[in-house]
Structures are given as structure tokens and as C-alpha cells.
Structure 1
Amino acid sequence: MLQGSRRSVSSQHAGVNPRLASFSAFSVAAARDNLSLSNHWEGSMPITTCVFDAYGTLFDVAAAARQAASEPDFAALKDSWPQVADHWRQKQLGYSWLRAVTHAHADFWEVTQNALDWALEKTGHDGDPALRARLLALYWELQAFPEVPTMLRSLKEAGLNTAILSNGSPEMLEGAVTSAGIGGSLDALLSVESVGIFKPDARVYDLVGQHFGCAKDEVLFVSSNGWDAAAATGYGFTTAWVNRSGDPTDRLPWTPVHTLQELTEIPALAGA
């Protein structure tokens, strides 16, 4: 259900010149502006390009642990797989942020393995190398959320550009997209590996304009991560936060423009 489609951006564009390449969600000033959202959108271009985060947005990051727990060889995971999945994801994100701010980049596959090792030790499964191997193999075959194929086809039928913009490495993204069978509905897979730093650094969001030649206000950026959608708002994109779990809004200088429970309303937001 669509919520909050027209909010004030007095907290969304705080102290940020969205055209400065040095924009960073970690180093923004706390000053406030007086721009209202309605005035902002009256001067905006029509959406031409829809860009999606991958993990948690198009692909279900809990699917690997859930699938492994259903297999006879890994019955020990039956009761703890939700905790494994949650710890794995939280450490994956946390390690990406720490590597970004300390300029210690590694590709997302290394980060994903490091995060899983922590999660398995935390939950008492670190002595099972077969389980580790199975979980990592399943991460290359994550299930797309049910509404994803139809939603992407609707965007393409309307003539819109579509892309993934992700922390994932190119190989990881190719694997996930191929497994989900959605490659025919995507024009580009944009990975942070081309700039060597993770979101929410502005150089990552720059990749969209560099690839498609579009203005920032022609882009609808969609993420299940509230911090990602918020930072992209500060950057200058129209944003939609897919808040599947009903989380509170992150306390950041910006907030997502739209908040959805799932992806079926994306074509309508994009004018498709």
C-alpha cells in the first residue's frame, strides 16, 4: 500500500548539494533547507529510468537460510535459520559500511563470506563446513520476490529504462538475475565494483546517470534499505523505500519520498 507519497523534504535535502560528487551519507552537514516536496516535484522531469537495489529489494536474502533449513542434511538449522539469516544480512551491511568509511574495499562476495562466518559462529553452527558451503551456494540462487517479474515487465512495456544498482559484484548479480529469470527485463546491472566503494557513496549513485545519460530527477530509485533510499533522496533521485517488515524510518537528514509494502505499485509511481 502506497504511503507518504508527498512529504516535506526539509529533512531530505539537508545540507546537501546533490550535484557535488563528494556527497556522502557519512559526512553531510546538518543544516536544514526550506524546500517543500510539492514545489520540488512540480519542476521535476518525468521518470524515464527505474533503478533497483538487488538484495532484499528484488531478491529475498533470507531465502538461502530458509532453503537450507528445509533440506534433510541441514536439519540443525531448522529452528535457527531466521537468526542466521538476520545476523548474516546485518553483518553484511555493517561490514560494507565500515569498509567504505575506512577505504578498505573488498568485493561483496568476500564481505558476504565474512558476514556468514560471523553469523554461523554467533548461532553455534561454525563447526559445519558443509552447511557453510551450502548457504554460500544458495546465495547465488536467491529467489526473487513473487511480484518482481510482472513488475519489471510492466516497466519495460511502458518503455522505461530498468537497472539494478547494487553492492553486489558483477558475477553475483549475473548469477542472481539468471537464476530468477529476469534478465530480459533489465537493461543494466550496475555494480559498485566499477568505482571501488560501497553505498551510500555518491560515486555509486553517479553510475546511473553515467550509464543512461539521464538527469537525477528522471530516476526512480527503489530499495528495501531505508538508509539507501534516504541517501538517494539526498543525492537527488526520486525514491521508494520497500518497507516489507514495517520498520521505523531511519533517523537521517533525509527520508524516502515514497514508502511501499512491496513492489507492485512501482509502475504506477513511474507513470508506466
Structure 2
Amino acid sequence: MAYAAYVFDAYGTLFDVHAAVRKHAEKIGPEADRFSTLWRAKQLEYSWVRALMNRYQDFWVLTEQALDTCFELIPSVDKSLRADLLDAYWKLDCYAEVPQVLTALKASGAKLAILSNGSPAMLEAAAKAAGITDLLDEIFSVDTLRTYKTDERVYEMATTHFRIYPEAVSFQSSNRWDIAGATAFGFRTVWMNRYNMPDEYPDLSPAAVLADLNGLTALV
């Protein structure tokens, strides 16, 4: 089956969420990996809690709040690094295979899009830094809806915009909870299991599991 659109989650799927901390790992010290993991976990936790409360704050605010919490929970990390870490988050590295895979999919005639919890400014900056802006037909941000994934209205943004049915969309994410939400909505889903994590939602299985985006073009 040829898919009319390939829609990608951004953070952890196209862009390496740990790149910001890795850039300053020497200054952070031995807690760098734990600090980065906690920053990401708190960032997501705050998005889910905000969605449940219906008290939206944009993803950049949550990213800042999550970082501040990390400094409190891991006090050995120098708080003076705050500005440098936030600046680095605007220009996260994309994974090595991303440009080549997107170029191949674009050549097939499919529409390409990002569908993310990130704010519009964050996503535009990341795409520009990665050099993939011209490969994308659209960047969808939850900011339009003022809620977060896995609200089905988030996934519906793609089908409404492209005027296609969910089954015509191949959705890729490294986040298993995101794959569960997209599967429930009706997308063909591909889980980018970059860190060999366990399957936490067996009743909402992806159509395929890959270690990275390589191989996506071979899937039918």
C-alpha cells in the first residue's frame, strides 16, 4: 500500500532530545545522562498533566519548567548552565538518517509533515537547524488546539489538512504512548524503538517496529 502522507513526531523521532545535554555534558559532569533523561521525562509528564487539567501552557514553557525541576532534583549540576541548555534545545541535532529518508519519501510523491507537542517556534527552529524545512509540506503543532497528545484531535489535524482518511497516513514516532494514540485514531503506525524499550501497550500495537527510520521506505 502506498501512503498519501508520512507524518512524523518530532522530539525523539526526528530530533535527538538528548543532544542539548550532550553538548554540555563535560560541564554537567557525571550526572549528565540522568539529568537528560529526567529533563525529558518531566517535560512529557507536565504535558500530560496539563492536558488532563485542561490548563494549557505551551511546550517551551513546560521545557523550561522541566529543566528547572531537574536542577532542583540533581543539585550537583550548575544552574548557570540553564541558558546554554535552553539555547541548545532550539537547535537539536536530527538523527543521521533523517535527511536521506525524508528525501526518498518526498520523491515518492507522498506528503510529509511533522505532528508534535512542540510549539510552532520550536519546531520551525529545529527543522531549519536540521536543514529539512524544504522537505516538509506542513508542521502541525498542538498549540493550535491548546492541548497535547494523545488527544485524538491532535492526530485529526493531519487528516483534516490533507483531506485524507486515517488509514492513508503512515505515522512514525519513537514514543510508544504516541504510537498507541495514533493507532487508536486509525493511522498505520511505525514505532521507532531507538532504545530497545519494552512494548507497554500490547492492545494498541504498531504495524511495524524499527530501530530507526532506515527501512521505512521498504515497508508496505
TM-score by length of 2: 0.96
2:172 counterpart of 1:222: yes
- Alpha-carbon separation, structure 2, partners of 1:251 and 1:221: 16
2:52 counterpart of 1:97: no
- SS of the residue aligned with 1:251? coil
Q: How many residues align?
A: 220
Partner of residue 16, structure 1: none
Partner of residue 209, structure 1: 159
Q: Is the 8 A contact 1:117 1:126 kept in 2?
A: no
Q: Is the 8 A contact 1:242 1:259 kept in 2?
A: yes
Amino acid in the other structure paired with 1:65: V
Q: Is the 8 A contact 2:7 2:171 kept in 1?
A: yes
2:156 counterpart of 1:200: no
Partner of residue 53, structure 1: 9
Select 2:191's aligned residue among 235, 241, 254. Answer: 241
- Alpha-carbon separation, structure 2, partners of 1:198 and 1:221: 16
- Alpha-carbon separation, structure 2, partners of 1:118 and 1:253: 34
Partner of residue 132, structure 2: 182
Select 1:69's aligned residue among 5, 25, 32. Answer: 25
Structure 2 portions without partners, runs of 5+: none
- SS of the residue aligned with 1:168? coil
Q: Is the 8 A contact 2:29 2:77 kept in 1?
A: no
- SS of the residue aligned with 2:69? helix
TM-score by length of 1: 0.78
Partner of residue 111, structure 1: 62
Per-residue CA deviation, residues 161-217 of structure 1 (Å, 9 max, x unaligned), is 000000000000000000011111111000001111100001100100111111110
- SS of the residue aligned with 2:180? helix
Structure 1 portions without partners, runs of 5+: 1-44
Larger RCO: 1 or 2 (CA < 8 Å, sep 6+): 1
In terms of mean alpha carbon deviation, does 117-126 or 92-101 score higher? Answer: 117-126
- Alpha-carbon separation, structure 2, partners of 1:125 and 1:102: 33
Amino acid in the other structure paired with 1:67: K
Partner of residue 120, structure 1: 71
- Alpha-carbon separation, structure 2, partners of 1:131 and 1:254: 40
Identify the structure with the greater helix proportion: 2
- Alpha-carbon separation, structure 1, partners of 2:161 and 2:144: 12
- Alpha-carbon separation, structure 1, partners of 2:215 and 2:202: 25
Partner of residue 37, structure 1: none
Select 1:145's aligned residue among 95, 116, 123. Answer: 95
Amino acid in the other structure paired with 1:179: A
Amino acid in the other structure paired with 1:251: Y
- SS of the residue aligned with 1:153? helix
Amino acid in the other structure paired with 2:5: T
Q: Is the 8 A contact 2:31 2:77 kept in 1?
A: no
| Compared CA separation, residues 252 and 108, structure 1 to 2 (3 A) | farther
2:32 counterpart of 1:78: no
- SS of the residue aligned with 1:256? coil
Partner of residue 261, structure 1: 211
Larger radius of gyration: 1
Which 4+ residue blocks in structure 1 deviate beyond 6 angstroms? none
Measured after TM superposition, the shift of residue 253 of structure 1 is 3.8
Per-residue CA deviation, residues 82-134 of structure 1 (Å, 9 max, x unaligned), is 11110000001111011111101100000101111111211115652x30110
Measured after TM superposition, the shift of residue 247 of structure 1 is 0.6
2:182 counterpart of 1:232: yes
Select 1:136's aligned residue among 86, 90, 114. Answer: 86
